[in-house]
Structure 1
Amino acid sequence: MLRIGIGGIHIESSTFSPHRAELADFTVTRGQDLLDRYGFTGEDWGVEWVPLVHAVALPGGAVTRAAYQELKDELVNRVAQAGPLDGLLYDIHGAMSVVGLVDAELDLTYAVRGALGPKPLISAAMDLHGNVSRRFAELLDLITAHRLAPHEDAWLTRERAARNLVDRLRSGGRPHRAWVQVPVLLPGEKTSTRLEPARSLYGSLAEVADQPGIVDAAIWVGYAWADEPRCQAAVVVTGDDEDLVLREAGDLAQRYWEARADFVFVGPTGSADECIARAVQEGVRPFVLSDSGDNPTAGGAGDLPFMLGRLLANEELASAAVTAVHASITDPTAVARCFAAGMGSTVRLSVGGKVDAGHGGPLEITGAVTGLQPGDPVGGDVAAVTTGGVTVILTSRRKPYHRLADFTAIGIDPHDQDLLVVKIGYLEPELHELAKGWLLALTPGGVDQDLGRLGHHRVTRPLYPFDEFEGPDLTPRLL
């Protein structure tokens, strides 16, 4: 029976966000709890799955060195103490940044490989918004990534990585990996697989991977909100046919490069004021607006009140002729004041702008406490405050609002609102289905969609769209 360990650290980190990910931000699983995360471990694969440690956190700023070191040390020690392993299912994101490191996944994987030894195989499951440097890829034997954005196939990706590993351990030998980076760096909201050209590019991966002599094919968009040399698109094709993997990797890279100018935002865009005015005037309800620059699920601090301020500056919203819900702003002090005041009380609050103070600072509001939700598993204590026609949801901890249940938990039915404003980029499935209209507001923050406003200076140049150039070397390297 094969013995395969499972472990990893999973987070994406904006180096432009002032937020810092601490140990408390991670959900850490071990033992049977870790195995229960992966449904396929309960099936009869003829494998002894060995739980090591897995840590996952909501995207944010860079991970503190102390938090990273503690998680890294535990993973490495558990690998070393696990006894003989045939392989490792390596569940990571690929866009983790750590204070003081320039390629955190390389640092982690180097240590894991050292503890595992040279013989066991490592199969990595990654997010397509991760980064794949050559030195990092050289330490792996198998590597795959999501093929959908939004990532509705996240667990399918993990299972594919596991099946590839088991099949390879049974058939024997190490496959070739053809690796090539593509000097393009685009935000995720321009590379959704709901639209062309990403739909066709990613849709072709299964056909490539199904060819005899190929094990897997993957394309990484890269992570646009970190300023590191590794941040750019990449292609890896894995298999036993050396010539075929090189040819297919080169073809995918060339197709991606040639399509670089065809990638567009997944929906119509505009400034905050433009989007609010259009949503108010459209007359279809509910109309969803993305406050994209402070999206906590891409790495934003989640406490910028910029969009809230623009909502309250709109006369129809301020007068309650039109209603809106804004979800959400992280501010534990403001939440505590709401709980102390109680339901129905009028409160004067200084909201947000405490973590990311570089985009206008806190916003002063006066309103009624219209919702209190103690002990949300993600957001902690949560409060809702209504001023004019705008209700803002305040959380004690950073929390995404992707599902209808996130709103109904605090007594808000999104169907009853004129506008629903969410700190998000492209819409997750439930919001996508809910929206009768949608606009992507190009707001400021640590994950600003306008990359030119961020100030990248450590990425490898030339790099599209920062530079216009022709004929990059897209020759795949065999690892």
Structure 2
Amino acid sequence: MAPKIAIAAFLHETNTFAPSKATYDDFAHGGGAGRMLRGQEIIDHMSDVNAAISGAIRYGRDAGWDLCPALACATSPSAHVTMDAFERITHETIDRIVAFGPLDGVFLDLHGAMVTEHLDDGEGEFLRRLRAAIGTEIPIVTCLDLHANVTQLMFSHADVLESYRTYPHVDMAQTGLRGARALDAMLTGARPQKAMRIAPYLSAIAWQCTADAPAKGLYERLSELAGKDRQMSFNMGFPAADFPECQMSVLAYGPDADDAADQMIAAVIAAEPAFKGRVYTPEDSVAQAMRIAATAPGKPVVICDTQDNPGAGADSNTTGMIRAMVTANASGAIGNLYDCDAALAAHQAGVGAQITVALGGQSRVDGDAPFTATFTVTHLSDGTFPAQGPYYRGKTMNMGLSACLQIDQLKIVVVSAKAQMADRSMFAQVGIDPQQEPILIVKSSNHFRADFDPISAALLTCAAPGPMAVDPALLPWTRLRNGMRMGALGPAFQNDSTKEPA
């Protein structure tokens, strides 16, 4: 009889310092992540996209599994998931899994950095409830994002946690294949030995690209230690979740798991000084980009507006880089600027019209404000288009009403849904050829590199005012574990309430 395997997905990356929460409707509509799917819809729509659940579906088909799809949903990173959203989605997903009847295994595609209004550890609580519902005998494999803040609850209730190994995340489906292979091994064999280790510092996402040092070398070491007999993960964590288990971690499953985990965490600790890099001010980044562009025509200079990255919980609507470009009279394009009112005004006015709007600036971050000016509407779009790059591979994007607004020599992609600028098609959908622009400003931190590195002359990381601090040590932590360094070589967190009185 074919093994009966339930599959489900529930993903959210939570920035507890961000301005906007994730509601049930956000998960239902999904935005750039795609709408909520149930049952056979998951097989029909998720089989060929860059997602862990896609890899599991493909593996299961080849292995002859009886796949039982429950529910799949995700939404853009933001502040806390509302209690209503978490409880409704968790209850429905687990009820659907239980309703499948006797199962041989469960495959889950989760993120690993979900914080809700009422829970520090969304995934850990989801796994705890699932275990209570199906018992301890059924193996559970969970695939996680490389940025998961892996907790003891997650580690305890999943038999294997398997994580992405690339950032930009171009290996999500491959991770699903590895996770499904581990689940298949447990259908006829024993549960593996497992070990978990925690690093003593946080690292900034701007310096976590796995194509560069130090992450490149660390993941090469991870692959060596995993070999053919072990499952291993190095989670660089999401350094904007204010709770005690916000952390980088190493996981090992299989023979000599403890020894492998010890060797890997030693490499992570030794790499701490390398998790730092240069950050430009908006003005300096534009000046440097203009200098480079003058010597490298035909290849754009890419500036990442990392502190307004919607892939890290920001709202993609700050205006610091717009001001810097306009002040310098620089030529280029910026995207995406999330402003539904401005996009609607552009559509009502039509191509060629001039509109005066207060653009963006709703972040409530010091130093950010709306940019009020008169813009020319140069292109309109319904915001629906196929993604072409490696990160969003296979997805049909739905950015809502979209427009290109131009002021002086700057073109601005204005959209009605949040998704980080990680695909050249996101410029093209409003008539901008990114290869023809001397400067491109992307509201992203690293995922854009998968599609933009091949065409860029240089990459600059900029810290315009925004809610996702480029250095986690700058965040107003209150609940981090005592002694955790708040960034590479940064100060150690100390909760004043635990200090001895003077």
Per the normalisation by structure 1, the TM-score is 0.91
The 1:216–1:42 alpha-carbon spacing in structure 2 relative to 1, beyond 3 Å, is closer
Which region of structure 1 is more displaced relative to structure 2, 375-384 or 151-160? Answer: 375-384
User: C-alpha deviations, 1:445-476, integer Å up to 9, x for none?
Assistant: 2222122322122111211245557xxxxxxx
Question: Does residue 458 of structure 2 align to residue 450 of structure 1?
Answer: no
Post-superposition offset of 1:144: 1.0
Map of 2:109 onto structure 1: 91
In the alignment, the residues of structure 2 paired with residue 157 and residue 261 of structure 1 have an alpha-carbon distance, to the nearest angstrom, of 28
Cα-Cα RMSD = 1.7
User: What is the count of residue pairs matched by the alignment?
Assistant: 455
Map of 2:288 onto structure 1: 278
User: C-alpha deviations, 1:274-299, integer Å up to 9, x for none?
Assistant: 10011112212411111110011122
Map of 1:475 onto structure 2: none
Post-superposition offset of 1:355: 4.7
In the alignment, the residues of structure 2 paired with residue 400 and residue 271 of structure 1 have an alpha-carbon distance, to the nearest angstrom, of 21
Map of 1:237 onto structure 2: 252
Tell me, yes or no, if the aligned pair for 1:164 and 1:215 is still in contact at 8 Å: no
Tell me, yes or no, if the aligned pair for 2:251 and 2:261 is still in contact at 8 Å: yes
2:237 to 222, 226, 236: 222
In the alignment, the residues of structure 2 paired with residue 73 and residue 348 of structure 1 have an alpha-carbon distance, to the nearest angstrom, of 47
Question: Does residue 46 of structure 2 align to residue 34 of structure 1?
Answer: no
Which amino acid in 2 is paired with 1:118? T
Identity of aligned residues (%): 27
Which region of structure 1 is more displaced relative to structure 2, 368-377 or 87-96? Answer: 368-377
Map of 1:476 onto structure 2: none
In the alignment, the residues of structure 2 paired with residue 119 and residue 131 of structure 1 have an alpha-carbon distance, to the nearest angstrom, of 26
Question: Does residue 114 of structure 2 align to residue 102 of structure 1?
Answer: no
Map of 2:387 onto structure 1: none
Per the normalisation by structure 2, the TM-score is 0.87
Tell me, yes or no, if the aligned pair for 1:330 and 1:397 is still in contact at 8 Å: yes
Which amino acid in 2 is paired with 1:11? H
Post-superposition offset of 1:217: 0.9
Q: Helix, strand or coil for the counterpart of 1:204?
A: helix
Q: Helix, strand or coil for the counterpart of 2:398?
A: coil
In the alignment, the residues of structure 1 paired with residue 365 and residue 262 of structure 2 have an alpha-carbon distance, to the nearest angstrom, of 44
Map of 1:371 onto structure 2: 379
Map of 1:320 onto structure 2: none
Question: Does residue 204 of structure 2 align to residue 187 of structure 1?
Answer: yes
User: C-alpha deviations, 1:179-228, integer Å up to 9, x for none?
Assistant: 121122112221221122221211122222225xx430111111111111
Post-superposition offset of 1:401: 2.3
Tell me, yes or no, if the aligned pair for 2:60 and 2:180 is still in contact at 8 Å: no
Map of 1:330 onto structure 2: 338
User: C-alpha deviations, 1:405-452, integer Å up to 9, x for none?
Assistant: 221121111111111111011233211111112211122322221223
User: C-alpha deviations, 1:36-76, integer Å up to 9, x for none?
Assistant: 42251563303111101111122222212211221111111
Structure 2 matches for 1:44-123, cutoff 5 A?
A: 44-123=62-141
Tell me, yes or no, if the aligned pair for 2:42 and 2:71 is still in contact at 8 Å: yes
Tell me, yes or no, if the aligned pair for 2:39 and 2:69 is still in contact at 8 Å: yes
User: C-alpha deviations, 1:294-352, integer Å up to 9, x for none?
Assistant: 011122111112221222222x33xxxxx111102111111111111111111110111
Which amino acid in 2 is paired with 1:297? G
Which amino acid in 2 is paired with 1:372? L
1:345 to 341, 346, 353: 353
Map of 2:497 onto structure 1: none
Tell me, yes or no, if the aligned pair for 1:14 and 1:446 is still in contact at 8 Å: no
Unaligned runs of 5+ in 2: 28-34, 47-53, 385-396, 493-502
Tell me, yes or no, if the aligned pair for 1:303 and 1:356 is still in contact at 8 Å: no
Tell me, yes or no, if the aligned pair for 1:64 and 1:99 is still in contact at 8 Å: yes
The 1:468–1:178 alpha-carbon spacing in structure 2 relative to 1, beyond 3 Å, is same
Tell me, yes or no, if the aligned pair for 1:442 and 1:450 is still in contact at 8 Å: no
Which amino acid in 2 is paired with 1:289? I
Map of 1:269 onto structure 2: 279
User: C-alpha deviations, 1:353-386, integer Å up to 9, x for none?
Assistant: 2354554232212111111112434210001111
Map of 2:307 onto structure 1: 293
Tell me, yes or no, if the aligned pair for 1:293 and 1:444 is still in contact at 8 Å: yes
Higher strand share: 1
In the alignment, the residues of structure 1 paired with residue 207 and residue 348 of structure 2 have an alpha-carbon distance, to the nearest angstrom, of 43
1:303 to 300, 317, 333: 317
Tell me, yes or no, if the aligned pair for 2:305 and 2:321 is still in contact at 8 Å: yes
Map of 2:500 onto structure 1: none
Map of 1:477 onto structure 2: none
Which amino acid in 1 is paired with 2:74? V
Question: Does residue 214 of structure 2 align to residue 200 of structure 1?
Answer: no
Q: Helix, strand or coil for the counterpart of 1:174?
A: coil
Which amino acid in 2 is paired with 1:343? V
Question: Does residue 426 of structure 2 align to residue 409 of structure 1?
Answer: no
Which region of structure 1 is more displaced relative to structure 2, 33-42 or 13-22? Answer: 33-42
Map of 1:16 onto structure 2: 17
